Copies of this chain bind each other. A is one copy, B any other.
Amino acid sequence: MASIKDVASRAGVSTATVSRALNNHPAVAPDTRTRVLEAADTLGYHPNGVARSLRTNRTRTLGLVISDVLNPFFTELARAVEDEARALGYSVIIGNADEQPDLQDHHIRTLVGRRIDGLLVSPADGEAPVLRETARAGRTPMVFVDRSIPGLDVPVVRTDGTGAVRDLVDHLHRIGHRRLAVIGGPAATTTGAERVDAFRHALARYGLPLPDEYIGHGDFQVGSGRRITEGFLDLEQPPQAVFAADNLMALGAMDAIRERGLRVPQDIALAAFDDIPWFLHTAPPLTAIAQPTGDLGRAAVRALVDRIEGRPARSVTLTATLVVRRSCGATERSSR
């Protein structure tokens, strides 16, 4: 591949001048610039970003480590992150941790080795020594998005779903449901714990308990949603409504319910955290708590780039909202 030297000799200037011309440095004579550009063009020259990065100590690349690309919430998040990053002049490398802490650590190690300028992480459950160490060392600017690890000095950009969960419980209560169950995420993920807590507190406002057998410990993936829902249905007193802490576990719940020949909402009500386009077309359309996912991703990138470029980065909390559809029953005709 043509290098800067080739361009320099063809244009009859030094490599320093080629570099300046190509980087729009002001101190380059107009016709020198023209000659350089022509030479670069005829040689099909593409500057070597690796060499530039080594020299400038910047890669103009962001790392994004998420727990599951196949989860539509994270897909949308990743897309927003990439869009905003591109707008700010950065590329992004995505690492998919698949909810496995060691895969997450593997990605972080690789990304740091590549000298990305900054790191966006939505931490998975479990021990993640590399993540902790990277955050603690503070050499790579980092921002948590969606989920966080308490106790680390890292800004977090997240959504607060407390109000929306309260709205959901109001909705369920109004319909007449009293036995409410939740499929939570891994306890060690902040979102996993928060959503269950919010649910419990919302129930308490009606004097309703959240017994242990109505709390499922899922992992944000389809299989756990299914398994936990089967457990609920096997109970002597199955719940009247199930709230899944993410969309994949809701999908698993639908699988389980359908396999038993039961119907939503006639036999059991269902709602999910995270809204996705398909929920409009499920049978029935699913009531869900919608995060402003695009805003979340963009805010995270801005916070990270602020850190990278030496500005102070603030944590950001956005607000989720309840989207009522038909999966919890109709409000009009009281309970069933």
Q: Which residue of B78, B112, B113, B251 contacts A278 across the interface (Cβ within 8 Å)?
A: B251
B-side contacts of A112, CB under 8 Å: 46
Say yes or no for A75: interface residue by CB 8 A criterion: yes
Question: A: which residues have CB within 8 A of B?
Answer: 1, 44, 46-51, 53-54, 59, 69-70, 72, 75-76, 78-79, 82, 91, 93-94, 96, 109-110, 112-115, 133, 137, 139, 222, 251, 254-255, 258, 277-278, 280-284
B-side contacts of A110, CB under 8 Å: 91
Least distance between A253 CB and chain B CB atoms (Å): 10
Interface of A is mostly: helix
B-side contacts of A59, CB under 8 Å: 50
Q: How many copies does the complex hold?
A: 2
Can you offer 21 A-B residue contacts whose CB atoms are under 8 A? Answer: A1-B139, A44-B137, A46-B109, A46-B112, A46-B113, A47-B113, A48-B54, A49-B113, A50-B50, A50-B54, A69-B75, A69-B79, A70-B75, A70-B79, A72-B72, A91-B114, A251-B277, A251-B278, A258-B281, A281-B282, A282-B283
Q: Once the chains bind, are B115 and A49 in contact (CB under 8 Å)?
A: yes
B-side contacts of A51, CB under 8 Å: 54
Assembled-state Cα–Cα distance A96/B76 (Å)? 12
Q: Which residue of B50, B70, B255 contacts A53 across the interface (Cβ within 8 Å)?
A: B50
Least distance between A174 CB and chain B CB atoms (Å): 25
Assembled-state Cα–Cα distance A48/B111 (Å)? 11
Assembled-state Cα–Cα distance A6/B93 (Å)? 29
Further contacts, 15 of them, CB under 8 A, given A44-B133, A50-B115, A69-B82 = A46-B109, A46-B112, A46-B113, A49-B113, A50-B59, A50-B114, A54-B54, A79-B96, A91-B93, A93-B93, A94-B94, A255-B281, A278-B281, A281-B282, A283-B284
